[in-house]
Amino acid sequence: MGATPFHRSILEVRLPKHFDKPTDMRYDGTQDPLEHLTAFEARMNLEGVGDEVRCRAFPVTLAGPAIRWFNGLPQGSIYGFSDISRAFLAQFTTRIAKAKHPINLLGITQRPGEPTRKYLDRFNDECLEIDGLTDSVASLCLTNGLLNEDFRKYLTTKPVWTMHEIQMVAKEYINDEEVSQVVAANKRHSDYNQPRQQGNVYQQTAERGILLKPRPLKDRTGGNKSLYCDYHKGYGHQTQDCFDLRDALEQAIRDGKLSEFSHLIREPRRRQRDQDSEEAKTRAAKRRQEPEDKDHSLTVINVVTAKNSAPRSRSAHKKDAKILAVSSAPMRSS
């Protein structure tokens, strides 16, 4: 047997017959040694082995710089697992992850549009990196970062929540949120398929003679040959994009001829656009007329004049007075 850091008392102990060597665990000196040591001890506790077997099994988990370090330990210097634990942590102490301060949780906030489930996952991951975190601090920081208003208001009804309680309460709000998102997605999908549904409705009703005849296309020969409208029997646009068909379908629904399709038809965009255009034209014409009406208004000015010589009596004054009605006309620009 070659040189080894283990004392003879460790080497003399035989491994259990069905002992499962931890060959799936690997530490090469770049990870947190405390995490590796904790995981290794948990594995050995599960196996139910003693101190000597732990010492014999530990080097199996080392690789690269870590195994070279172990082989460089003084011969016979390890008497128990506590010896190897202390030496291991001392050697790789700079790799021990520094525990974060609870104040870091204030930086974990729900992003706009981020699902509450995903936010809670990020928050919980951050909590795991903080030593000594209390429920009061965790619940306060979580409430501060929430964008889900209903959930946040509910959390304010109680001063302190444990993280377990928050997780249980969160399920209901997360389910409601996800159901709302599915409903919204289905509505968007329905709106997206609206033009396609319009074409399908026409195919189902074309032979019934319900729809009014379309007005002729302006230029049937010059239309895009890749776009054909069944309603117009011509080229230039597709059936599902036809505004005239949409208007005709709506009219048929209002007349009670296609009531079974009323949930598929929206207010025609062209009709609303034409109506808005007509209203805009009316307002513009009215504004143009208003200044002209003001220019043709009649102004009456009463002017009292007298002769150059002063009247000799009151009656003479009245006789000489004249009232002139003057009609004012707008000044023409030169």
CA 264, CA 252: separation in Å to the nearest integer? 13
CA dihedral 213, 216, 222, 225 (to 10 degrees): 0
Question: CATH for 102-192, among 1.10.10.10, 3.30.70.141, 1.10.760.10, 1.10.1200.30?
Answer: 1.10.1200.30
The predicted-structure confidence for 171-188, as pLDDT tens digits, reads as follows 888 887 777 766 666 655
CA distances in angstroms from 196 to 52, 244, 266, 273, listed in the order given: 75, 15, 13, 22
pLDDT on residue 58: 97
Q: Higher model confidence: residue 17 or residue 327? A: 17
Whether pLDDT at 17 is above 80 = yes
Closest alpha carbon to 115 in 62, 59, 39, 174: 174
How much of the chain, in percent, has pLDDT values that exceed 90? 34
CA 173, CA 291: separation in Å to the nearest integer? 62
CB contact set of 128 (below 8 Å; sequence gap of 6+): none
pLDDT on residue 62: 97
315-333: average pLDDT: 48
> Among 197-206, 263-272, 274-283, whose mean pLDDT is lowest?
263-272
DSSP H or E stretch at residue 286: helix 269-295
The predicted-structure confidence for 192-247, as pLDDT tens digits, reads as follows 455 555 566 777 777 677 788 888 877 655 567 778 888 888 888 888 888 888 88
Domain extent listing, the chain: 8-95, 102-192, 195-269
Whether pLDDT at 33 is above 90 = yes
Q: At what angle do helices 194-205 and 243-254 cross, to 10 degrees?
A: 60
For the chain, the average pLDDT equals: 78
CA distances in angstroms from 57 to 12, 77, 133, listed in the order given: 14, 17, 34
19-47: average pLDDT: 95
Q: Tell me which amino acid residue 324 is.
A: L
Give me the phi and psi of 322, to 5 degrees please. -130, 135
DSSP assignments along 210-251, one per residue: -SPPPPPPS-STTS-TT-EETTTTEESS-GGG-HHHHHHHHH
Half-sphere exposure of 193 (CA within 13 A, CB side): 11
Token reading at 36: 């590796």
Whether pLDDT at 27 is above 50 = yes
Q: Higher model confidence: residue 212 or residue 46? A: 46
The predicted-structure confidence for 117-172, as pLDDT tens digits, reads as follows 999 999 999 998 888 899 989 999 999 999 988 888 888 888 878 888 888 888 88
Whether pLDDT at 38 is above 90 = yes
Q: pTM (2 decimals)? A: 0.44
